[in-house]
A and B are shown apart, each in its own frame.
Chain A
């Protein structure tokens, strides 16, 4: 039986983890993800989980220990934000190349410097090429639901890749929302037992992990990872369908909001999509044909599906909550525009950088973006394609 509650995003993810009852959870505190291991430590202290909780001395070690545990045959995870993710950088690549199905509860926060504890996506965007699956949430419910689905995707035999479950720092991690929790038993049954094929603690067959691989084999190893990644979209959709069966909540690779007849669209990731939906509701009430594509799965990138969803749009604004210093825009902009190019899209596209370091994004800001798109359509000219929203120039 589903249970209604009022929870912060961090608490919701921590509860999902209690229900999953993972084997090993090494953790190191960093704002704003600290609460996840903190809540979890109390579950350990009260005997609500069987998990081996390892309070390590750094994020590099939390990911290293999670890798060791996963290679050993355990279901493992850690949680972090911002500089913590940056500190475990090399380990992200190692987890992925070892094809270890482990999870990372990431609470997105700006990277230093200047040091800033608030939300943007610079941490996970920087890690987008590390070989991890990345799934993002708009709100607390999605953060919870994505966490429940994480291991089913990551551990799937056609995938076997680590997964990052991302939510926006403070905006969802600390804000309390109404949320519907699944029954403990339902989650347990949905996630299932972890029975790896090969692992260090297999008494029948020892295993060696983490080889030195010279040019003879390195490229094949990387290609193998890409093969695993190529199966992710299918598995994400299969798992989502099964999840809908127990929760009634529908998930895809991305969400389309008012896209059926939209002439102008915004593509974005994370909590600001909620703000954009409000802007769309206001504009739709005035008869304007505007819509939103909210990315859920960012790695791998569902390029063809997004291009297809945008095929009838005249102008699109792609919103990046991270800089990538190309002088052309952010990482989402680059991926969406490349997808549109490959699909021979005729739509005009602009890329906004917004919300860095927790800069507020209001409904009016998103209305102004749609207003900009209106002008672009009218002029049949995208103008400057690399823009900043809400900046003091």
Chain B
């Protein structure tokens, strides 16, 4: 697939302005750029798990979606779009529909890693011809920043608050991309907003046009939940990648591919420092927490390198 930045960026917006997402929201950036993966002329049905994205883009009687769109509930975006895709197959078979449709569903990490996990797993295992996109901001942001299984260790959330007996979330985040890869689907990728979006645009197009089930995990920072200076989102994403906290990789037909290796891997504290949710890690006496965090990042990075070297 050839890639032309200008052409991609000049595609008509499929999420119209005027929705009510926060200024600087990573979720919206993810959606707009994933939809640039669609070829012009192709139609799409967009699915959506309950969350910020849904309540802010489809508040009756307004919709920001240029394509057909369905929100059902919190935990069933995978199953709902499976039904839509099933309808497409049968309507085509019966000669009631000629147009090409693509099926893309968006969920936050709460709706994807946690409550929608079973429905997602089912859709992936059945190899439904759809793309599930998780815009991962590492907590239940819509309900007010509660921890999810995507929340990184030590993050200060409203259900893992930092206190005299607490250093934030005690557990590590779930590695969902690996779990979906273990479903043996044709395409899994992890990305975020770096390299002028080339990585995200190319992976989106691949995910959308790979026959069968595809999963995209996109780190999509939330300025409210992460407590960084809102305009710094691109810098935050870059640090996520350069520290190897959020590596860019693909799993194509079971083959693990590392898409980017930093020339000089930065310490993870560079990624953590600008974020208010990790402020307590930089207090005197908490150096051991930073060490533990770094150790986990290193372990996962080495593991990924090993998988990609086979």
Contact = CB atoms under 8 A, between A and B. Distances in A.
Interface stretch (A32-40, A58-66, A124-132, A383-391): A58-66
Nearest to B121: A57
Contacts of A62: 79
Contacts of B55: 212
Given A58-B118, A68-B80, A201-B97, A23 B69 contact: no
A98 to B, nearest CB: 9
Nearest to A206: B68
Nearest to B43: A203
A206 B66 contact: yes
Nearest to B65: A208
Contact of A74 (B47, B63, B82, B91): B91
A67 B72 contact: yes
Range of interface residues on chain B?
35 or more
Contact of A208 (B69, B73, B122): B69
Given A69-B86, A74-B91, A200-B84, A57 B68 contact: no
Contacts of A206: 43, 65-69
A212 B82 contact: no
Contacts of A72: 45, 70, 83-84, 87-88, 91
A86 B73 CA distance: 16
B292 interface: no
Contacts, number: 168
Given A52-B90, A201-B97, A212-B60, A65 B83 contact: yes
Nearest to B119: A61
B76 A201 contact: no
A64 B45 contact: no
Interface in B169-218: none
Range of interface residues on chain A?
35 or more
B283 interface: no
Chain A residues touching B, majority SS: mixed
Interface in A163-207: 200-203, 206-207
B59 A214 contact: yes
A201 B87 contact: yes
B122 A94 contact: no
B79 A65 contact: yes
A208 B15 CA distance: 13
Contacts of A209: 69-71
B91 A73 contact: yes
Task: Tell which of A58, A73, A210, A214 has the most Cβ of chain B within 10 Å.
Answer: A210
A65 B90 contact: no
A345 B47 CA distance: 52
B109 interface: no
Contacts of A60: 75-76, 79, 118-119
Interface of A: 23-24, 26, 50-52, 54-58, 60-62, 64-74, 76, 90-91, 94, 200-203, 206-214, 216-217
What are the 6 closest A-B residue pairs judged by CB atoms, nearest first? A68-B83, A65-B83, A57-B122, A61-B79, A72-B87, A74-B87
Interface of B: 43, 45, 47, 54-55, 58-61, 63, 65-73, 75-76, 78-84, 86-91, 93-94, 97-99, 101, 118-119, 121-122, 125-126
